C-alpha cells in the first residue's frame, strides 16, 4: 500500500434544479474537479461513480460510462458503485484501493443523484428500497420511520430528548447558511426545530435531510505525484468500509451502528490517530438522531451522551469538535449518491483553508463518515494535510 | 406464526408515507420482540403502543404481521 492524496475537488451547488439532468450535473462536478487539479481527461486511468438510484429516479442505467464519456474520458474502466446513501463513499473507498495498490495512478471518483424530478411520495418509495423490501418496507416503513424507531429506542435507553435532536438541526442550519453551495441557506431557531411538521414520531421535518439534486467529484493520485496537480494536497491517512444487516429488526441493538464502529476502528488504526485527535468531521446526518449516534460510535462522545454533547455546543463551528461545518445533509442537502464524495470535498476545503466564512481554525486532521441505509454500509475516511 | 405474542422493542407513528400507504396515514409500526424469539417489524392496530407494551398478533396480511395491544 502506498500513500494516496486527494489532488482535486469539484462540486455542483446542491438544490432542486428542474432544468438540469443527471448527466449534466455529474459532468459539471467532474469538470470542476479536473480543472481544480489542473488535470486533463486523458490523464484519468479509471472512473468510479457513486449513484444510488439513477434507474428509478430518472430511468437511466449504465451510468458510469454514460458520465465518463461525456467528460471526455475514453476507454478506461468506468464503474458504478451502489451502496444506498454510502454509494459514493464506497466508490471513494474502492478508488483509494486502486491507487494505493498501484493498479492505477490517477482516478476520478464522482457521485451524483437527481432526485427532485419525482414527487415526494415516489422519492420516499425509492429511498425505502434501500431497506428490506420483504419485511420492514412491506410493513409500511420509510427511512424516516426507521430512524424514528432508532430515536425512540435511544430516548428510552439513554434519556435523549427532542431538544437534543433539535440542537443538531439548529447547528447544521446555522452552518449551511454560510455555505454558498448549500440547498437550504436558512438559519432556524430551537422553537422552529422543536415544532416542525411531524414526519415519523419523534422526528419532524427539521430532523430530516433534504431531497436534492447535485454532484461531487474528487481526483486521487499517489502522494508522490500530488505536486503535479496541486500545491495543497490532502492525504488519505485512514479509510475503511464495513457492513451490517440491511433490516433494522435483525440488529441486536439499534442504538448503535456496528458498521460505523468497525469502519472507524480500522480507519483510526490505519491512520495511527485516536478520536480525540480529530479536529473536524463531516458526519452522515440523514436524520438528526444519526449524527448523535455517529458521535458516540466514532468515539467523540461517550455512549448515550451524543445528545447532551450536541446541545452543549461541542460540535458547533466554534466548539472543540466542529461537525458538519458544510451544513451537513440537513442543510447542505442530500443528493444521495453524491453525499460521500461531497463530504470529502467539504473536508478538503476546510483543510486547504478555503472554507470562507465557515472556516475553522484547527483543520489539519479531518474525518468523514458516510452511512448507507439504516447502517448496513459505512465508510469512514481520515484525511490529513501533508 | 399466527397467534404470536411479544413485547414492543421500539415504535413510531408515520405521517409521511410512500404512495402505497398514503391512505393509511397516520399509522403505527413497531419492532416486536417475539416471545418465541427474534424480532419482526409489523403494524399496530387499535390504540397506540409504547416501548415495553405487550402485544399479540391478530392477523397477517401479505406476510406482514398486525399486532394489537394486550390490555
State pLDDT tens for residues A90-132: 999 999 999 999 999 999 999 999 999 999 999 999 999 999 9
Is the confidence at residue A298, as pLDDT, over 80? yes
HEC profile for A225-269? HHHHCCCCCEEEEEEEEEECCCCHHHCCCCCCCHHHHHHHHHHHH
H/E stretch holding A110: strand A107-114
Q: What's the pLDDT tens digit per position in A203-250?
A: 999 999 999 999 999 999 999 999 999 999 999 999 999 999 999 999
CA angle A48, A351, A79 (to 5 degrees): 0
Kindly report the backbone phi and psi dihedral angles of residue A197, in degrees, each rounded to the nearest multiple of 5, phi listed first: -60, 130
**CA separation for the pair A139, B69 (Å, rounded):** 17
Q: What would the mean pLDDT of A241-263 be, rounded to a whole number?
A: 98
Confidence of residue B30 (pLDDT cuts 50, 70, 90): very high
pLDDT the model gives residue B71: 78
pLDDT the model gives residue B31: 98
pLDDT the model gives residue A292: 98
CA distance A162 to chain B (A): 14
- Is A353 catalytic? The answer is no
Cα distances from B11 to residues A161, A249, A314, A323, B7, in angstroms, run: 16, 11, 30, 29, 11
Grid cell at residue A173:
442550519
Asked if A148's CB is within 8 angstroms of B12's CB, the reply is yes
For chain A, percent of residues with pLDDT exceeding 70: 100
Average pLDDT, chain B: 95
Q: Give the closest residue to A26 by CA, choosing from A4, A47, A5, A56.
A: A47
Residues 6 or more apart whose CB falls under 8 angstroms from that of A70 comprise A23, A26, A27
Asked if A136's CB is within 8 angstroms of B18's CB, the reply is no
| Residue A274 near residue A161 (C-beta atoms within 8 A) | no
Confidence of residue B2 (pLDDT cuts 50, 70, 90): low
Average pLDDT, chain A: 97
Q: What's the pLDDT tens digit per position in A23-47?
A: 999 999 999 999 999 999 999 999 9
Q: Give the closest residue to A329 by CA, choosing from A215, A204, A173.
A: A173
pLDDT the model gives residue B1: 47
For strands A280-282 and A365-372, give the pairing.
parallel
pLDDT the model gives residue B3: 79
Q: What would the mean pLDDT of A168-185 be, rounded to a whole number?
A: 98
Q: Which of A119, A140, A204, A208 to mutate to test the interface with B (most CBs of B within 10 A)?
A: A140
pLDDT the model gives residue A386: 58
Nearest CA in chain B to A148: B12
Tell whether B63 is within 8 A of chain A (Cβ): yes
Is the confidence at residue B47, as pLDDT, over 70? yes
Q: Give the closest residue to A381 by CA, choosing from A154, A109, A182.
A: A109
DSSP state of A197: P
Q: What would the mean pLDDT of B18-41 be, rounded to a whole number?
A: 96
Residue with cell 459532468: A27
Nearest CA in chain A to B22: A121
- Is A85 catalytic? The answer is yes
Binding-site residues on chain A for chain B (CB distance < 8 A): 120-122, 124-125, 128, 134-136, 138-142, 144-145, 148-150, 152-153, 156, 197-203, 247-250, 254
For chain A, percent of residues with pLDDT exceeding 90: 99
Q: Which is more confident, B3 or A67?
A: A67
Q: Check: pTM over 0.90? Answer yes or no.
A: yes
Predicted ipTM?
0.97
Q: Which of A136, A141, A211 to mutate to test the interface with B (most CBs of B within 10 A)?
A: A141
Size of interface A-B (CB pairs under 8 A): 92
Amino acid at each position: 500500500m502506498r500513500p494516496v492524496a486527494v489532488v482535486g475537488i469539484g462540486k455542483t451547488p446542491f438544490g432542486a434544479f428542474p432544468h438540469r439532468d443527471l448527466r449534466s450535473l455529474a459532468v459539471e462536478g467532474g469538470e470542476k474537479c479536473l480543472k481544480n487539479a489542473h488535470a486533463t481527461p486523458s490523464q484519468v486511468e479509471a472512473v468510479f461513480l457513486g449513484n444510488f438510484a439513477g434507474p428509478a429516479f430518472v430511468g437511466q442505467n449504465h451510468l458510469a460510462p454514460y458520465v465518463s464519456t461525456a467528460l471526455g474520458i475514453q476507454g478506461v474502466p468506468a464503474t458504478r458503485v451502489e451502496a444506498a446513501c454510502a454509494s459514493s463513499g464506497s466508490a471513494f473507498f474502492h478508488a483509494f484501493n486502486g491507487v494505493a495498490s498501484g493498479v492505477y495512478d490517477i482516478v476520478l471518483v464522482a457521485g451524483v443523484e437527481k432526485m427532485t424530478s419525482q414527487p415526494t411520495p415516489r422519492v420516499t418509495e425509492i429511498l425505502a428500497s434501500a431497506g428490506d423490501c420483504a419485511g420492514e418496507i412491506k410493513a409500511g416503513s420509510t427511512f424516516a420511520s426507521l430512524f424514528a424507531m432508532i430515536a425512540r429506542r435511544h430516548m428510552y435507553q439513554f434519556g435523549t430528548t427532542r431538544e437534543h435532536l433539535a440542537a443538531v438541526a439548529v447547528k447544521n442550519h446555522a452552518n449551511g447558511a454560510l455555505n454558498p453551495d448549500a440547498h437550504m441557506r436558512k438559519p432556524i431557531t430551537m422553537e422552529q426545530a422543536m415544532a416542525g411538521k411531524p414526519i415519523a414520531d419523534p422526528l419532524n421535518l427539521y430532523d430530516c435531510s433534504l431531497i436534492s439534486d447535485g454532484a461531487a467529484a474528487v481526483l486521487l493520485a499517489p502522494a508522490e505525484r500530488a505536486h503535479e496537480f496541486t500545491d495543497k494536497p490532502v492525504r488519505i491517512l485512514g479509510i475503511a468500509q464495513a457492513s451490517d444487516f440491511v433490516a433494522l429488526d435483525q440488529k441486536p441493538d439499534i442504538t448503535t451502528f456496528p458498521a460505523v464502529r468497525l469502519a472507524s476502528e480500522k480507519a483510526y488504526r490505519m491512520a495511527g490517530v485516536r478520536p480525540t485527535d480529530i479536529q473536524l468531521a463531516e458526519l452522515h446526518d440523514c436524520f438528526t438522531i444519526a449524527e448523535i449516534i455517529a458521535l458516540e460510535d466514532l468515539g467523540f462522545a461517550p455512549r448515550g451522551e451524543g445528545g447532551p454533547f450536541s446541545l452543549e455546543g461541542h460540535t458547533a463551528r466554534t466548539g472543540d469538535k466542529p461537525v458538519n461545518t458544510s451544513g451537513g445533509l440537513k442543510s447542505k442537502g442530500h443528493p444521495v449518491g453524491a453525499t460521500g464524495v461531497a463530504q470529502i470535498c467539504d473536508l478538503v476545503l476546510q483543510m486547504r483553508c478555503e472554507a470562507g466564512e465557515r472556516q475553522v481554525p484547527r483543520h489539519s486532521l479531518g474525518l468523514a463518515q458516510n452511512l448507507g441505509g439504516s447502517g448496513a454500509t459505512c465508510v469512514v475516511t481520515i484525511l490529513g494535510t501533508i | 406464526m399466527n397467534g404470536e405474542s411479544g413485547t414492543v422493542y421500539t415504535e413510531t407513528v408515520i405521517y409521511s408515507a410512500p404512495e402505497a400507504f398514503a391512505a393509511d396515514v397516520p399509522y403505527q409500526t413497531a419492532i416486536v420482540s417475539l416471545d418465541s424469539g427474534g424480532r419482526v417489524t409489523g403494524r399496530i392496530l387499535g390504540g397506540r403502543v409504547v416501548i415495553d407494551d405487550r402485544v399479540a398478533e391478530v392477523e397477517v396480511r401479505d406476510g406482514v404481521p398486525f399486532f394489537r395491544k394486550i390490555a
